[in-house]
Chains A and B, each alone.
Chain A
């Protein structure tokens, strides 16, 4: 596609529910990243994929968070049993060749947990 596409753009959920956030990277980009940005804060690294494998999962905040990528393309970030502190904008980025290259960001998915 023309750019990184994320869905949903906005999600409001109740505490304890599970949510799935989707990222469709730029076609041909092998590397995919998830970051979290809380209101007025910087970006917190969550996870990075090279192809379908995730060499670095160290940023996932807890075992309630998981991510997968299939076919070297679309990625899904799943948050189980959401908590209020999970409220943030979740940003996805892709890169043609990994970190040595430029990251292109999607518009983000704004998650609000009530």
Chain B
């Protein structure tokens, strides 16, 4: 069964702090995506990771992919309020099906 799990499901963090969101998946894949969703809005693409060891950074967010461990991480550095949103990872499998994780709702407070 194709499963994608994220943790934590909910994260409340103080501005300036660092934290990591984890995305585990059940079957071999070599492509993984991170998306951001603001309340009532659609999904915005953040990162596309297409190979083992891929690391991408944009501002205070950094994403990495370890295909052997079937794990991706989204690291938040020195969080700010504007990062408050729900973050989804999505994993591509053989038939071009893209399965989304459960999402991590991030709340950054002063």
Contact = CB atoms under 8 A, between A and B. Distances in A.
B42 A107 contact: yes
A102 B45 CA distance: 8
A13 to B, nearest CB: 20
Interface string A16-39: 000000000000000101010000
A108 B42 contact: yes
B88 A43 contact: yes
Contact of B42 (A100, A101, A106): A106
Contacts of A114: none
Interface stretch (A48-56, A70-78, A80-88): A48-56
Which of B35, B42, B99, B103 has most chain A Cβ within 10 Å?
Answer: B42
Contacts, number: 57
B86 to A, nearest CB: 9
Contact of B102 (A42, A48, A104, A105): A42
A99 interface: yes
11 contacts: A31-B96, A33-B98, A45-B97, A55-B96, A56-B95, A59-B97, A91-B42, A99-B31, A99-B92, A102-B33, A108-B42
